[in-house]
A and B are shown apart, each in its own frame.
Chain A
Amino acid sequence: MIFIEKKIFLFLLIFFLLFLPPLGQSLGMYYTLHISALIGIYLLLILGLNLILGFVGLLDLGFIAFYACGAYLSALLSIRGWNFCLVLPATIILTVLLRLLLGLPALRLRGDYLAIVTLGFGEIMRLVLNNWDGLTNGPKGLPRVGEAISSPKFFFLTFQSDLSFYYLILFFVILGIIVSRRLDNSRIGRAWIAIREDELAAETCGINVDKVKLFAFCFSAIYAATAGVLYTHWIKFISPESFTFWESVLLVSMVVLGGMGSIPGVILATILVIGVPEFLRGLLGTQLVNYRMLFFGLGLVLMVIFRPQGIVPSKRRELELHPSNE
């Protein structure tokens, strides 16, 4: 294990991601593809949340609201016959605008107050989706009877089959990871970390704190919206049940479990949290499967107690001062 070089490892990972689902498909294990795709969609969400929670250190308990927004907007546009090439940017722009509207007043708040405002916003979003029957068809979900969400089409490429769609998701995930890494190592990424460590000190160093925070806040919405668009086109039917408060909580716990601000960490945590329940399903058999969530809860507690800094703690973060560690 020690001799594995970084490049070989990356190569192996890509190989695995590229060929595991088709392999499962050919062996008749169709769920490998679906779980891989779901992990991919969640990875996008997690990378987005990691941006704001991990890099800037702002707790967002309503991140799922923007995922829901992306999913519903893209469904509404796709039903009206828009091409995927237009649906994706339009959804992203609208979601980011919404995020901006929330962020402008909310980012003035500090610490946990921001968390509470986002929590409230998340709940409002879900309730509005459930109650605004005229637009969202309420609890009955979209698309309505007689409508359909078409498969994504890029000029001459059509992502009709599940497998090709999986590669589309994979493409966005890899793009997301690259962008995330770039941001982390950029000037603005360093500004985020400065803000996380000490906002006041950052400001005196000439960082425009409000602007930089707002940028992170809105940028994370791009991830959420993309994940939402992909989810809608993958499942092809959405209803408000998918966007509960618990989803937001799950996302936050994935980021903390993985190690805040650590990209490999959050990727691992996502694979674990989305994959492990499925893993337990196979292992526990039909009788014990009811105990799955019990074990999951226990696992979360044990994990945090024995490794509170996350599975793969971010190197940079480990060197920081923590107010609670004084």
Chain B
Amino acid sequence: MFFQQLLNGVTLGSIYALIALGYTMVYGILLMINFAHSEIFMSGAFFGYFFYQLFSRISFFQEKIFFFIFFLFLCSMFSTALLGIFIEQVAYKPLRRAPRLAPLISAIGVSIFIQNFFMLFVSNQSVAYPQIFPLKKYNFSLLEINSLQIFIIFLSISLMLVLRFFIQYTKLGKATRAVSQDRETASLMGINVNRIISLTFFIGAGLGGAAGILNGMYYGSIKYNMGFLPGIKAFTAAVLGGIGNISGAMFGGYILGICEAFTAGFIPGGAEWKDVFAFAILILVLLLKPSGLLGTQLKKV
């Protein structure tokens, strides 16, 4: 049962980690908690649903399941990423020079707006998510795993590796790191800061969108208010790992997922207390090691 619970935790943690990346990247660059990220995650799930409806009418995709899934993810992640940039341009960019809390309030406004928009104009009920991925069960002696869980873990880890590679080795990635270290100096070095910020939102929202589709596929239904709870959890994960730190966000996501699975899975009556544990761990980590588990000391804000 231990391994089974570990698997439950890791699957959940993969989704948290993907969302957490969006929080951590934006925080790393703008020092701002992007409250609207949870709604981006939700809209990603809905975009996935729309593209499914569209693609299932195209005969080319009928046979080729690989292309179907590939294009489904690509298109929905791209649309979600565009939404992310749109939000950044409309709601955050005019506030670059405003007091520090202004973008936070703007983000809250955007979040309320998007959630109500989906409720009013898309659906106020749950939407059944199509079974895109063929479900197969594999039985090992210690644990039982299905193809969807493998897919979720595989996809999220590979997306994170790609991101890590991008940040570490490409020119744009270097520029991103430079901006997050010092915006002014970076712009003096000829880096287009605005473009880098947009890029950050693009990547963060895209990953959030992917998490949304995975969440929809895994649990089988989506709803306009599905973003709030995973959003706050993923944020916790980002802080746990050290906010602003990309490997930290992944690490934090997995830790949180496993911690939740273990509290609900081993302690009788633990399911209702698991969030208390999660937040208690968060507070303890911050008090003992304020920069998070993997973080470096953040400069004074």
Contacts and interface: CB of A to CB of B under 8 A. Distances in A.
Interface of A: 59, 105-106, 108-113, 115-117, 120-121, 123-124, 127-128, 130-131, 199, 245, 249, 252-253, 256-257, 260, 290-291, 293-294, 296-301, 303-305, 308-309, 322-325
Contacts of A296: 109, 112
A322 B98 CA distance: 9
B109 A249 contact: no
A293 B225 CA distance: 14
Nearest to B288: A105
Given A131-B273, A293-B112, A299-B109, 10 more contacts: A111-B300, A120-B279, A253-B109, A256-B99, A296-B112, A297-B114, A298-B113, A301-B109, A301-B110, A305-B95
B117 A294 contact: yes
Interface string B90-108: 1100111111111111101
Contact of B283 (A121, A245, A298, A299): A121
18 contacts: A109-B286, A110-B301, A112-B31, A112-B243, A120-B282, A121-B279, A127-B276, A249-B35, A253-B105, A291-B116, A293-B116, A294-B112, A294-B116, A301-B91, A303-B105, A308-B98, A322-B100, A324-B97
B111 interface: yes
- Which 8 pairs show the lowest CB-CB distances between chains A and B? A300-B109, A297-B112, A297-B113, A308-B98, A111-B301, A301-B109, A120-B279, A308-B102
A123 B275 contact: yes
B135 interface: no
Interface of B: 31, 33, 35, 90-91, 94-106, 108-117, 120, 232, 236, 239, 243, 272-273, 275-276, 279-280, 282-283, 286-287, 290, 298, 300-301
A115 B32 CA distance: 12
Contacts of B114: 297
Contacts of B301: 110-112
A276 B112 CA distance: 16
B191 to A, nearest CB: 18
Contact of B91 (A130, A260, A291, A305): A305
Contact of B101 (A109, A256, A294): A256
Contacts of B106: 300-301, 304-305
Interface centre among B94, B99, B115, B286 (most CB of A within 10 A): B99
Contact of B275 (A111, A115, A127, A249): A127
A293 B90 CA distance: 19
B110 A304 contact: no
A293 B33 CA distance: 22
A113 B283 contact: no
Given A298-B109, A304-B106, A106 B99 contact: no
